[in-house]
Structure 1
């Protein structure tokens, strides 16, 4: 007697669904951070986005809002790194893409734990003028912020390189816009670090442009992976 056995195909749907949700978490982080910052900048008394970095919104009675923004977007970015690893497999950026995305999240979490020092009239009641010295917790905050900033800039170029590959033919415009986003952020960050006029604003705009471009790029790559594109 011959016994015939059959093996049912292994479904990859749960993994794909999990990957999609994780990437969606990373995509959500950018607009959440941007909207939270804009709303607070428009409503917090004494805050001037041309002079005060967004991180200073974590100070004062309503500082918990910005701290929560750091924590939520940091966790979303770290979670999204796992999904990005699957989306970026088999092409450029498959190694550094997820690593950089995770580092963005880690930097944000560090920034949430360690706050900036009050200065330049914010929160209300703080003497005018810039700081001449920094506390230890502000130094650590800057370390976290720098980790996120430089990781965002690098990720723009990593994803741009993937769009510029032969496997992504027809999406070369994304490659160009990614490089532009990375350069704009680098310029805005550099201007802020040198103490240039309106540096806090150029820094925020750089973050908003680069991070939201990353979110859009991950969305496009996720859709491509769902159709078998690599």
Structure 2
């Protein structure tokens, strides 16, 4: 999506300097997804007791190595914010000019909030944590859930906003891809937010998060 934001038509109306800076900002969005996913995969393999079938990546912010995931959240979120500014620079007109970059930016803020407000230990992770959900939810755990949820909804909405823009530009493939990504992410988020905990829903949500990051990068 970051690559597609800078079209030939747009280039005709932008100065060379603006185009250069826009490409740099959009490149931040291209980098963000692979960075987040790769660091997540590494942690899955080095953190004792972590099981993606049971645990959300947010739980990796706890424990002695929790700083890795905290840094992952903050750095990836900052890259998305930069990308949102880049999108705004090149979307000089047309559908989604206001809401598209704004929603991507809100998602970036939600990702940063995920690092600033740590999720409560749960489900036996980190090792030594009682099984099951937290008995009491901390203030930072509440903010993590609320702001993270806002970020997820913003990304889902962004998928549909850009789908409409791509349809208006005649870019049918990008439009359909955006709709599929937004729809799958929405279904997975509803499943995980319902409080139903099973391996299928947890894995589906993890896959949806990866799809969302890839959508931004592509």
- 5 Å-filtered alignment, 1:1-230, equals 12-165=15-168, 168-169=169-170, 171-194=171-194, 195-198=196-199, 199-216=201-218
- Asked if the contact 1:53/1:201 (under 8 Å) is kept, the reply is no
- Asked if the contact 2:192/2:202 (under 8 Å) is kept, the reply is yes
- The structure number with the bigger radius of gyration is 1
Considering only aligned residues, what root-mean-square deviation do their CA atoms show, in Å?
1.4
Using the alignment, how far apart are the partners of 1:86 and 1:127 within structure 2?
49
Q: Which runs of 5+ in 1 are unaligned?
A: 1-10, 217-230
- Asked if the contact 1:88/1:97 (under 8 Å) is kept, the reply is no
Using the alignment, how far apart are the partners of 1:97 and 1:40 within structure 2?
32
Using the alignment, how far apart are the partners of 2:146 and 2:65 within structure 1?
23
Please report how far the alpha carbon of residue 15 of structure 1 lies from its aligned counterpart in structure 2 after TM superposition.
Answer: 1.2
Using the alignment, how far apart are the partners of 2:193 and 2:16 within structure 1?
46
Using the alignment, how far apart are the partners of 1:37 and 1:201 within structure 2?
14
Give TM-score scaled by structure 2 length: 0.88
- Asked if the contact 1:54/1:200 (under 8 Å) is kept, the reply is no
Q: How many residues align?
A: 203
Q: Which runs of 5+ in 2 are unaligned?
A: 1-13
Using the alignment, how far apart are the partners of 2:84 and 2:146 within structure 1?
21
Secondary structure of the structure 2 residue equivalent to 1:144: helix
- Asked if the contact 1:156/1:214 (under 8 Å) is kept, the reply is no
Please report how far the alpha carbon of residue 151 of structure 1 lies from its aligned counterpart in structure 2 after TM superposition.
Answer: 0.9
Give TM-score scaled by structure 1 length: 0.84
Please report how far the alpha carbon of residue 130 of structure 1 lies from its aligned counterpart in structure 2 after TM superposition.
Answer: 2.2
Using the alignment, how far apart are the partners of 1:215 and 1:91 within structure 2?
22
Secondary structure of the structure 2 residue equivalent to 1:164: helix
Task: Map Cα deviations across residues 19-75 of structure 1 (whole Å, 9 max, x no partner).
Answer: 110011122111211111122112211001111111001111111110000110111
Higher relative contact order (CA 8 A, sep 6+): 2
Please report how far the alpha carbon of residue 123 of structure 1 lies from its aligned counterpart in structure 2 after TM superposition.
Answer: 0.4
Using the alignment, how far apart are the partners of 1:27 and 1:181 within structure 2?
17
